[in-house]
Structure 1
Amino acid sequence: MRKIPTLFIRDARFKVTEGPHPDCQWVLDGEGRATEKLDGTNLRLTVRAGQVVRVEKRRNPGKTQKAQGIFEPWYVDADPEAPADRYLFEAVQHTDVSAWPDGEHSAEALGPKIQGNPLALDQHRCVAFDLHAPVYAEVPRGYDGLREFLRECESLFQPGALAEGLVFHHRDGRRAKIKRKDFDW
């Protein structure tokens, strides 16, 4: 799994600057579509015949892996018996995958006990990025415009809540992200 680059270069405080990330110029050129970045836990669900047959969670490299030159995250099996994975499996149980095509689907687990529940959801659930990520029809494509847009950008997934940010998707598979907290307000 490749980490999604942030649309703009970061400064020493880890806030974005006006300089575009070299791999993300396509967004500023108006290419791709913008989906809502949902704030939860990243999963990969394997679906067969309308049933989830495997649940994996994302692992980010730690200090030891980074010292070994490993910088990209990967997936590991989630454990239905592990207390730390309890709410991930609850999210899977509350997600209807009966119409999902067979295959592996990257998704976000959301809900009351996941990442502080910024969308104020009353139940855990999963949202597949390739099938159900909410799409914003029109978004600005420059630093100033995106900063102002994200300041008060309402979630399409949970109206009344603020969106965490945006993920831009290019037809060729490239992606770029920008979050509200990336900006120095």
Structure 2
Amino acid sequence: MKKALFLYSSREGQTKKILNYIEGELSNFECELVNLHTLDAIDFSVYDRVLIGASIRYGHLNKKLYQFIENNRQQLENHTKVAFFCVNLTARKEDQGKDTPEGSVYIQKFLKKSPWQPKLIGVFAGALYYPRYGFFDKMMIKLIMTLTDGETDTTKEVEYTNWKKVSLFAKKFAEL
């Protein structure tokens, strides 16, 4: 059986949830899910595929993602079957193309900042978990959602992830 490594950088768990969903779509793969924040070193050569998923918080990817990329740049560039996806709330605006690598300001910023340029990139809408946030995060995210015409009821949890889109990405990843 083929092996896939799933690395994630997640704040609230939606990125990990998306990876678990992708694992369910890849019946021909044995998948290993690892939080890249806890990783010192890993050998990509024992995997047929590598997938990195990361979430945006306050407009930025976690610095540990960039450190991981820098520390593993050679492996990322040498392994031919590595993909990346980004999870953010702006991607909920599919009608504006915010859910595409070309239309996502976060992916464009990532590609400028990162020495690694993945060949397959996905952009998925995340989820709002207002009841789980502390006071400061709740108020900041509510302000951002007010400015972007999003959900502002802080008693709600709203999942914006387009699972059909995730399935299509999983298929492309399997076919790398």
Q: Which has the higher strand share?
A: 1
TM-score by length of 1: 0.24
Q: Which has the higher contact order (CA 8 A, sep 6+)?
A: 1
- Compute the TM-score of the two structures, normalised by the length of structure 2: 0.25
Query: Highest Rg: 1 or 2?
Result: 1
More helix by percentage: 2
